[in-house]
Amino acid sequence: MANPTLTLISNQLVGLGGASAITFSSIPATYTDLKLVMSARTDRMGGLPVDGITLKFNGSSSSYSTKSLYVNNGNNPPVSGTDTNGILVSSGADSGDATANTFSSSEVYIPNYAGSQYKALSTDGVSENSGSAYYMGMTSGLWSNTAAITSIVATPTVGTIFLQYSSFYLYGIKNN
């Protein structure tokens, strides 16, 4: 049986002043899969205490399809939505309306990212607001492109910047 290993490719911590985008470039094709782990907060205000994160691959703004399922506080029925402008990490970031100094937790898993077929992936994210509200989202996504993924850009879905101390870790997974 294969024994998979997880190797940190790159990490980024947002500094003072925030960041409008997080970019991972020159991703090597030497791994089997990719895993992106994020803890984020955006400047979105005047709405829900949650924001999403939008991912784009290789600078492409097309050929994406996603289906998301998200719930809040467990007392509302799950809601679903779609996105075609990028991969949506639903509930991927706390917003500026959330409790101060709280950050979301989200992950993206991209199997066979360097293969020559379309790229299917999954995401999950959770956010909370001082124990009084929580948000959970799961997304299945497809990038209908046969190119190997060599770069990933993450941006806030509604807000304009990721706030200081948001963190992003890109890992490569290899079967040994």
State the residue range of the domain holding 12.
8-175
Over residues 65-103, the pLDDT tens digits come to 888 888 887 666 666 666 678 998 988 899 888 888 899
- Say if 95 falls within a structural domain: yes
The CA distance from 22 to 152, in Å, is: 8
Strand order in the sheet with 22-24: 22-24, 152-156, 50-57, 87-94
- Residue 3 domain flag: no
pLDDT at 129: 79
Total domains in the fold of the chain: 1
Tell me, yes or no, whether 2 lies in a domain: no
* Domain annotation covers residue 121: yes
75 assigned to some structural domain: yes
Query: What pLDDT, on the 0 to 100 scale, is given for residue 128?
Result: 81
Q: Does any domain span residue 1? A: no
Do the domain assignments include residue 21? yes
Look at residue 139 and tell me if it is in a domain: yes
Quick one: pLDDT at residue 77? 62
